[in-house]
Amino acid sequence: MRADETRLNSGLLDAESCIEQIFDGESKPSLRTFREWQAKGLIPFLKIGRLTFFGAGEVRAALNKRCRIQATEF
C-alpha cells in the first residue's frame, strides 16, 4: 500500500476535509456538489447523530467505480 493510500484510508473526515484529501486544488467539486452526490447515494458516508463523516478511501473507490470511463481500442 502506498503512502497516499494509507493517508486516504485513515480516519473519518468531514465533507470539506474529504474534498481536500481526494481532489487537487483546481479540480475539486464544490461542497454543494459533494453534498448532492451524498444525497443521491453516489458516495458512502456515516451518520453519527447529526454529524456526517466520510472515509476518503471509500469515497475515492466509489467515485472510481461509478465515474471512471474506460478507453476503447480501435
pLDDT computed for residue 68 by the predictor: 87
Choose between 1 and 37: higher pLDDT.
37
Between CA 54 and CA 58 the distance in angstroms is: 8
Domains of the chain by range and CATH? 3-67 (1.10.10)
Q: What is the mean pLDDT of residues 8-25?
A: 87
pTM recorded for the entire structure: 0.77
> What separation in angstroms does the CA of 73 have from each of 64, 66, 68, 70?
20, 21, 16, 10
Q: For residue 17, with 0-12 CB atoms within 10 Å meaning exposed, 13-18 middle and 19 or more buried, which class applies?
A: middle
pLDDT computed for residue 25 by the predictor: 81
Residues 47-70: tens digit of each pLDDT:
999 999 999 999 999 999 998 888
The neighbouring-strand residues paired with 54 are 13
